[in-house]
Amino acid sequence: METIITGTSGILGMAAVAAVIIGFVFVNATALGYIERKLCGHFQRRLGPMEVGWHGILQMPVDGIKLIAKQLIAPRNVAGILFYLSPLLALAPVALPLLVMPFAPRLQALDLETGLVFVLAMMSFNTFAVFLAGWSSNNNYSMIGALRSVAQNISYEIPILLSLLTVVFLARSLSLRHLVQVQEPLWFFLQHPSAAIAFIIFFIAAIAETNRSPFDLPEAESELTAGFHTEYGGIAFALFMIAEYTCMFINCCLATAVFLGGWQGLWLPLGAYGSGLVFLIKAYALMFVIIWCRWTFPRVRFDQLMNFSWKYLIPIGLGNFVLAALMTKI
């Protein structure tokens, strides 16, 4: 384990890193919420938020203040402390992968030799938080949404693992920093056909794992009102939304680091700031595609969702992994 950012080894340094990460999580979620609402408007030939600030740029902070000011009302017979703990359990683990994300050569809090495993472990905690929220709400809609989410996450974590294992086999490392470094000057997505296939599998599975349309079955409004967070309002609902946007961003950062060269700009000479900017441009470009898919494709049925993973993504991912192994041995 190596500390990359200078001055983060002491207690004050770690506290500063934690404060920066917490601030970034909230600011990033606010920005992504605004971007999605504006893109949604333009996709539907509207303008989106326009009233609060220039082109509605202050709409999301105002909405956040409104949610914070609202009273947190819990229905009768909820599971007490577990009901209130679920939003925090949903947000805290998905923010931790930012510690090991290599945004630039000198912009990474921790370089773990098993950084990829750490990210996947933290992201899997979201499943427990969602199930806990549905079960503790004492609501049939919430429980059905939670069960759907658990089944969906388990089904789509397998193709994610298979796609990442393909790249790990090619790079022979679990360190995210090393995975980025070995992609100089050509990204894995462009180097190996198996890596390109793995990227497509990962991206589709990541959309499903974050419960985004067209795979948003756990929150299907026409069927389950609001799914597992039906009974949540105010700051608790806001925390779930922040966790969702953060999970999306982490998946896009992971795809950028593993498949798209991270801070590498192909053959372009980049400085310290330019490298970080290139990483964020790639991640936000993937976020744009996820938002684009949400407002383009209709929601699939739950049986189609499960069949797509078990009958298509997992067999293709397994075959692609074997293909990568054969290509490296030949």
Q: How far apart are CA 242 and CA 25, in angstroms?
A: 8
Q: Which residues in 17-157 belong to E strands, given as ranges? A: 110-111
32 has pLDDT over 50: yes
The average confidence (pLDDT) of the chain is 86
The ranges assigned to domains in the chain are 2-329
- Judged against a pLDDT cut of 80, whether residue 116 lies above it is answered with yes
100 has a pLDDT exceeding 80: yes
Write down the pLDDT at residue 256: 95
Q: What does the alpha-carbon distance between residue 133 and residue 81 come to, in Å, rounded to a whole number?
A: 11
**CB-CB contact of 178 with 308 (8 Å):** no
Compute the distance between CA of residue 199 and CA of residue 209 in angstroms, rounded to an integer: 15
pLDDT at 106: 82
pLDDT band at 4 (very low <50, low <70, confident <90, very high): low
The Cα-based distances of 170 to 108, 187, 197, 257, 317 in angstroms read 23, 12, 14, 14, 15
Backbone angles phi, psi at 104, to 5 degrees: -155, 170
Mean pLDDT, range 17-28, rounded to an integer: 90
Residue 9: exposed, middle, or buried by beta-carbon count in 10 A (0-12, 13-18, 19+)? exposed
Taking residues 150-154, report their average pLDDT.
Answer: 89
In the predicted structure, residue 5 carries a pLDDT above the cut 70: no
Identify the band that residue 7 occupies on the pLDDT scale cut at 50, 70 and 90: very low
> Residue 266 has what pLDDT?
67
283-307 tens-digit pLDDT: 999 999 999 988 888 888 888 989 9
Mean pLDDT of 263-285: 80
Q: Is the model more confident about 102 or about 216?
A: 102
Task: For 71-93, write each residue's pLDDT tens digit.
Answer: 777 777 777 788 888 888 888 88
pLDDT grade for 223, boundaries at 50, 70 and 90: low
- Is the confidence at residue 102, as pLDDT, over 70? yes
Residue 16 contacts residue 8 (beta carbons within 8 Å) = yes
